[in-house]
Amino acid sequence: MATIPPKVIIGVMGGGSASAEAVEKAYRLGKLIAARGWVLLNGGRRAGIMEASARGASEDGGLTVGVLPDDNRRHQSPHIQIPILTGMGSARNYVNVLSSDVVVACPGGAGTISEVSLALKHGRPVVLLDFDLGAIFPAYVESGQLQWVATPEEAVAAVEAFLKLAS
């Protein structure tokens, strides 16, 4: 019996509150992820980067997975097709990053920074989409595991390069 290759899962992390520019970039990123047949995974909530990236992907026929901090769907984005209710609060950040092949981090706060840290610690490549963390991770920048880009198109190109290295 033939085995089915796993789908590529791209984690899109970012704040529940975000600027209009960051929301627009997250929306475009979601569309680009869907266009490549990748699965978009995010925090699943009806807010900010999560809502925008899921909306972009779902509008273009992409598969969206939301790892929610709650034990119910009250705050779930309507653009999430597969909700994963954890009841774990911020501990769900581990599920987000460990389930992602590559993490794209958009502007956010402490939760997003924790996801970036967890991803780096566990060897996941991270692309910062217009999200300047300063010089707090120099070793990861030097090794190439952490990259900064300005546009969704550059983010997808960086993801493709990471995926090519992994195969």
Q: How many domains does the chain have?
A: 1
Q: Inform me whether the pLDDT recorded for 1 exceeds 80.
A: no
Give the full edge-to-edge strand order of the sheet including 82-85.
82-85, 64-68, 39-42, 9-13, 102-105, 126-129, 146-149
Model confidence at 45, pLDDT cuts 50, 70, 90, reads: very high
> Is 3 domain-assigned?
no
Separation between Cα atoms, residue 8 and residue 5, nearest integer Å = 9
pLDDT digits (tens, 9 = 90+) for 122-159: 999 999 999 999 888 999 999 999 999 999 999 999 99
Q: Inform me whether the pLDDT recorded for 44 exceeds 90.
A: yes
What SS3 class is residue 66?
A: strand
> Is 95 domain-assigned?
yes
Asked whether the beta carbons of 73 and 44 are under 8 A apart, the reply is no
> Is 64 domain-assigned?
yes
pLDDT digits (tens, 9 = 90+) for 50-82: 999 999 999 999 999 999 999 999 999 999 999
CATH code of 53's domain: 3.40.50.450
Q: Which of 34, 160, 29 is nearest to 107 (CA)?
A: 29
> Is 137 domain-assigned?
yes
* pLDDT on residue 60: 95
Model confidence at 6, pLDDT cuts 50, 70, 90, reads: confident
Q: Inform me whether the pLDDT recorded for 166 exceeds 90.
A: no
Boundaries of domain holding 144: 9-166
> How far is CA 30 from each of CA 40, 62, 86, 122, 141, rounded to the nearest angstrom?
7, 8, 23, 24, 25
> Is 56 domain-assigned?
yes
> Is 68 domain-assigned?
yes
Q: Inform me whether the pLDDT recorded for 5 exceeds 90.
A: no
> Is 75 domain-assigned?
yes
> Is 1 domain-assigned?
no
